Amino acid sequence: MRQIRPARRKRRQMAEINVVPYIDVMLVLLVIFMITAPLLRTGVDIDLPDAAAEVISDSDQSAEPLILTVDKDGFWYLNDGERVDEKMEPADVQAFATAALLHNPDRQVLVAGDTAVEYGAVMKAMVALQLAGAPEVGLMSDPAQR
């Protein structure tokens, strides 16, 4: 004689997603971002001269401006969107600026010189950018303090 087993109930699948682990991961990432964001430093630390110059509107510019920074020791840094804190030789600056301006000839070109740097160093930077093909080279400054 055969024994009859009671029919098993089929388990119903859960149609809910447990979001608690996702929230935990999101909070950990948020904490990491909050800690590291102030530590990230973009650009070279320089003291721009104060000037009561007009602000250049960048509303018609589609690309980020090409900025050549000359620090107080006379070292050059080219901010072309990829390199920021990398010291460069004048020949390398000219080569990278030429490539950037060939790619986008309407790109705004600026020189940011520290107040402690000699006028001649800023002038050499401007000449290097003109030799690279920049039609106009602007000078960066902080707004005048009142």
In a domain, 15, yes or no: no
End-to-end CA distance of the chain: 105
What is the percent of the chain with per-residue pLDDT over 70, rounded to a whole number?
72
In a domain, 67, yes or no: yes
Domain that holds residue 94: 50-143
Which pLDDT score is estimated for 127?
A: 92
- Provide the CATH number for the domain around residue 108: 3.30.420.270
Which pLDDT band holds residue 131 (cuts at 50, 70, 90)?
very high
What are 81-98's pLDDT values in tens digits? Answer: 666 667 889 899 899 999
Element (DSSP H or E) covering residue 50: strand 50-51
In a domain, 63, yes or no: yes
Alpha-carbon distance 144 to 141, whole Å? Answer: 9
Task: Answer whether 72's CB lies under 8 Å from 113's CB.
Answer: no
- Coil, helix or strand for 129? helix
Q: Is the full-model pTM beyond 0.85?
A: no
Could you tell me the two tokens for 8?
């098993």
In a domain, 103, yes or no: yes
Alpha-carbon distance 90 to 77, whole Å? Answer: 9
What are 22-44's pLDDT values in tens digits? Answer: 999 999 999 999 888 877 655 66
Which pLDDT score is estimated for 87?
A: 84
